[in-house]
Structure 1
């Protein structure tokens, strides 16, 4: 019987252990997409306690606690930080089979040197030990990133952001590159109540009058240029419904003006507007040689009562089941026909769509760019053992796993870098099993290159060539 979280954790054969400990473990992390705060990284303030570091804003933990029946006051409410930590500690022993059980103890071990299992019996002891260490220099935001051997942090930023803290972080005091990512969701979803207020912010930051479709596109182009000047290498989009409808510019202009005049829009008009703007944006990205990321398939803010109680993005999102193949194909093909398709990463939230994306990625290519269109890593609800295993196995069956750009945290937590260890162990185990079972030759050179490329090299090259 193996002990919990031993050196062979998730590694079921000797080849996997060798690949992980001798090659993969020491690789730096190229975290090309996350939701860390550049302000928090720059200011580098100590956390008062483990709850503020660990539970604040962590929707994964919030969902588990709600399912367990924990009162909302102990999750997002006005309970004390100790009471919230205590509620989490009471939840954890019930999470066998959930990756949160693994990640919780990996984070305690990796960053705090704590091997105890979190439970009501150990909660106070772990609380006190973590809080004591959090007051030292080695437990500030920048040190968590450095201790994780991160070479790049790709944040997620609205086009109206001044990128003030990204600029400040280039003062030479922090060796890790913190790069912005252009996330124009507010421009794409003109049906949202916040759309007009956001346009005013875009007008102010760009100094461009937005009273027409041309004004909007011009302002976005100006912000793309500004982001590029400040180290941006990629865009990102929340695509809840991947439908595509090609309309003329005049037709889209009328849709835009209807929204400006507070007129009702049909679903077809919304799709047509988003399709047009996505093509415009994709063309801008290709000109800047950026990577375009499409996160597809979430249903957001399902619980109306809780949204009204605690606000949007409180942990009430889930997997959607809309079809995406035809719309995605038409969108990518429109850009490709114009020779304006940027390097693109496709993420699906519904694992049902693995084969859709695995085959779609092979439809579009460019000579000299291995894996120009990528089937992205297991995202969100797929960010767990079975989801990662399925994604990589499906990619291997349908494409070229050797060119896979690997894992990204997609997280708001400074401790989420243990997910790279989790991912890397799974990668090594997949390849190790193939070797041990005679499914691939035990060619040390090929396998070493494959492991190094998936773990770090592919992502660095894919996002850095601009």
Structure 2
């Protein structure tokens, strides 16, 4: 039996046309990572990594989830009593068994791109690779910023709450980093009115904005002021709203005012009242985004904290979140519809987490494109549980029939890791292979120049134009 024992530079490139398109056009393109969760504080402090264990396991909940499925004790995953060397060796034991899982490919890409290692990591060679990479980390001074520069990342957008003072972004601006750093505006805590923390959060928002919040309207005024502040500090045009579950419900302004007052008093709200409030919130935030020149990103269908015991023991965003379909196309569509009627629909990107229904979301997006803005509402990159070869290819094949794939703003990492940028490479490989298949089947017979333009648009130019980043590419 003949098996590959090294990383192949033709990964996912199964046809000659796709291989040529990737290596000639997509491979050398720089990266704009317009949505991630890396720490601006860590970026500013720019410490050198201690070892590959820290690089891989410091905050990567993808790996944490996978390790738990193998029955590995939590002390080797997120535990503080074990160091990253121990965690790395435990992880190395199970990595070869992750056949078909994107973690195997991501790790292979990261070993190759950052360390030039093309052999598979196993239990047998784990210590050798650990020592080799540790030596390289310190010889090359592999810091957080080094990783971004090495990956040719021109711009990265973190994600911050409206109450954040953006201290670390200010310091990064002063530092004049090689990679431009902005942030996305994420007002989820102001939308989750049913949570017992709602009132205390509004007090923080009031203090941050310098506006006394006494009503739904004054809360919106405070959020608007913070939108302006975020743009002033980082030059951002990126917003991000998480919609775990949402059912549109009509409302009057009087009803919203009453619901708001009940929440401030920590009175119990009905499910219908929560739906009314969230409907009003998303519509009014859409108007603010349009007014301030932001792109509205809607991350749809998260099922947060599914394993409450795990969350209680380890914390949130540690691998216990799942996906669901409790935010329907009709409900989100009504938000877009109301904004369109008002003449205040901003540029919008929809990110459905339920990959089995991406076609319906693509159709919805196309239904709200008008008024001379190219791809005004569009389907976002396959994200979170869909950001691997299968999910990416599925989206191309399913949605190109319904929405021009050439208009896509391409890939993002949605990651907390400083070495996750090869995920852009994975996306580009799958995209070029998809185009190659179309060409070789005779389904596309345009010129090479047409294909070059499409590839470069999807890799970076569409993103740059859609968000108005002004990055030189």
- Determine if the TM-score, normalized by the shorter chain, exceeds 0.5: yes
My pick for the range that moved more, 403-412 or 240-249, is 240-249
My pick for the range that moved more, 61-70 or 318-327, is 318-327
Cα offset, 1:137, TM superposition? 4.7
Over residues 45-85 of structure 1, what are the superposed CA-to-partner deviations in whole Å (9 max), with x where a residue is unaligned? 11222222210111100010000110111111122222211
Report what 2:244 is aligned to. 240
Determine if the alignment matches structure 1 residue 260 to structure 2 residue 264: yes
Contact 2:246 2:278 in 1 (8 A): no
Report what 1:62 is aligned to. 64
- Aligned pairs for 1:134-153 (under 5 A) are 134-153=137-156
User: Using the alignment, how far apart are the partners of 2:255 and 2:86 within structure 1?
Assistant: 55
Report what 2:425 is aligned to. 421
- Aligned pairs for 1:165-176 (under 5 A) are 165-171=168-174, 173-176=176-179
Cα offset, 1:380, TM superposition? 0.7
- Of the candidates 120, 123, 144, which is equivalent to residue 120 of structure 1? 123
Over residues 87-133 of structure 1, what are the superposed CA-to-partner deviations in whole Å (9 max), with x where a residue is unaligned? 11111011000010000111011011222311111111111122222
Cα offset, 1:408, TM superposition? 0.6
**TM score, norm. by length of structure 2:** 0.96
Contact 2:199 2:266 in 1 (8 A): no
My pick for the range that moved more, 387-396 or 48-57, is 48-57
Determine if the alignment matches structure 1 residue 217 to structure 2 residue 220: yes
User: Using the alignment, how far apart are the partners of 1:286 and 1:182 within structure 2?
Assistant: 14
User: Using the alignment, how far apart are the partners of 2:239 and 2:318 within structure 1?
Assistant: 24
Partner-residue secondary structure (3-state), 2:28: coil
Cα offset, 1:419, TM superposition? 0.4
Partner-residue secondary structure (3-state), 1:171: helix
Determine if the alignment matches structure 1 residue 23 to structure 2 residue 22: no
Report what 1:190 is aligned to. 193
Contact 1:366 1:372 in 2 (8 A): yes
Determine if the alignment matches structure 1 residue 99 to structure 2 residue 102: yes
Report what 2:133 is aligned to. 130
- The 3 A distance-change label for structure 1 pair 172 and 465 is closer
- The 3 A distance-change label for structure 1 pair 137 and 161 is farther
User: Using the alignment, how far apart are the partners of 2:196 and 2:94 within structure 1?
Assistant: 37
Over residues 174-202 of structure 1, what are the superposed CA-to-partner deviations in whole Å (9 max), with x where a residue is unaligned? 12210111000110002223222222211
User: Using the alignment, how far apart are the partners of 2:314 and 2:469 within structure 1?
Assistant: 42
Contact 1:116 1:122 in 2 (8 A): no
Partner-residue secondary structure (3-state), 1:295: strand
Runs of 4+ in structure 1 over 6 Å off: none
Partner-residue secondary structure (3-state), 1:238: strand
- The 3 A distance-change label for structure 1 pair 367 and 5 is farther
Determine if the alignment matches structure 1 residue 160 to structure 2 residue 163: yes
Over residues 192-215 of structure 1, what are the superposed CA-to-partner deviations in whole Å (9 max), with x where a residue is unaligned? 232222222112211211232222
Structure 2 stretches lacking a partner, 5+ long: none
Contact 1:358 1:394 in 2 (8 A): no
Contact 1:138 1:144 in 2 (8 A): no
Aligned-residue Cα RMSD (Å) equals 1.5
Determine if the alignment matches structure 1 residue 441 to structure 2 residue 410: no
- Aligned pairs for 1:349-388 (under 5 A) are 349-388=353-392
**TM score, norm. by length of structure 1:** 0.97
Partner-residue secondary structure (3-state), 1:65: helix
Report what 1:304 is aligned to. 308
User: Using the alignment, how far apart are the partners of 1:442 and 1:248 within structure 2?
Assistant: 53
